[in-house]
Structure 1
Amino acid sequence: MKKIAVVGPESTGKSTIAQYLANSLGTVCVPEYARYYCKNLNNQYTLQDEVNMFYGQLALEEALVPLAQNILVCDTTIMTVKIWCDHLFGNTPAIVTEEIKNRAYDFYLLMDIDLPWQDDPLRDFPKEREHFMEVWKNELDGLGTPYIIISGTGNVRSENALAAVQQYLQ
């Protein structure tokens, strides 16, 4: 099974692209667990909340693996927990960093920050997207795993993402 991860800063179309890819490839999309978890937190996160989101994302991904058709599309990964822990709390629990080393994804699509910011109660840092884009690049470079930056608006973005995945799969 090939695991495709759609990642990047806030408000870059990750969920839209992940669902589009899953539909186009005839498989399932693992949604971002944090969106469900954070609905009632009012942007007041604790380190324990991040750990809970870590476990929730893992459980959601594992639950959907049997439904995948040779490809699993993930709307974010546990790397997001690391990025938020580092940013909000200055460090990341070892359980998270160890799992990141052991949990491989075959190909990452890093969503570019070329889309306009869309307000959402679960988004926190509209003025720091450039910073988080660099953080994502550094984290992916550190993993040494293949990734591509996906840019464009509307259907162009979706088609760029699908073309990148299809090229990778060949």
Structure 2
Amino acid sequence: MVQQQAGRPIRVAIVGPESSGKSTLAEQWARRLRAGGRRAAWVPEYARAYYADRPYISTMADIEAIAAGQLAAERRAEEAADILLCDTTVLTCKIWAEVAHQRASDALLALYRPGDYALTVLARPDIPWEPDPLRSHPEQRDWLLELYRRELARSGIDAVEVAGAREARLARAQQALLPLLAD
């Protein structure tokens, strides 16, 4: 875990294979934290906004633009939050580039800073697959999970894994956050 800087929000990375419940967790968790009086923000996956008005084509330039857009969205959300729940990070772009293009570009690697997050939550793909135009690996989610685990370990990140039903995932994630909340 990283040391929080005064005046900066607690940054939480929520990562994992496609259709593993990241967006649902981020949205519900932000709602629960706000209901408890916390200033929490959910930063949605930027790839969805990026591809909203263009064809879904995976070029390295697209992946680099998505990574930069994700980071920009996080910076904007920081202004109004004490807890930032990031629905994917540049890690997802790195893995996506390696899967689709066999490597991550130098420009993408320059944006990849996994240590910027005080907590990393890794969602297991133990829930039913939900088809989506941006998803393409329904039979390879366990393989993708292992790619996430290996990269997090290589980067020295001790991720908290969440699995099971929504409430179990939320409870596990909240429990992992508690030590970072200073009242």
Taking structure 2 as the reference length, the TM-score comes to 0.85
Q: Distance in 2 between matches of 1:39 and 1:125?
A: 20
Contact 1:106 1:146 in 2 (8 A): no
- Which blocks of at least 5 consecutive residues in structure 2 are unaligned? 1-8, 35-39
Matched with 1:123 is 135
User: Runs in 1 of length 4+ with deviation above 4 angstroms?
Assistant: 167-170
Q: Distance in 1 between matches of 2:175 and 2:129?
A: 25
- Indicate yes or no: 2:25 matched with 1:17: yes
Q: Distance in 2 between matches of 1:5 and 1:147?
A: 9
- Deviation of the 1:102 alpha carbon: 7.3
> Which among 7, 10, 13 is matched to residue 5 of structure 1?
13
Matched with 1:55 is 68
Matched with 1:157 is 169
- Indicate yes or no: 2:38 matched with 1:30: no
Q: Which segment is superposed worse, 10-19 or 35-44?
A: 35-44
* Equivalences for residues 20-169 of structure 1 within 5 A: 20-26=28-34, 27-69=40-82, 71-101=83-113, 104-167=116-179, 169=181
Q: Higher helix proportion, which one? A: 1
- Which blocks of at least 5 consecutive residues in structure 1 are unaligned? none
- Deviation of the 1:43 alpha carbon: 3.6
One-letter identity of the residue aligned with 2:166: G
* Alignment length (residue pairs): 169
Q: Percent same amino acid among aligned pairs?
A: 34
Aligned-residue Cα RMSD (Å) equals 1.8
Contact 1:3 1:73 in 2 (8 A): yes
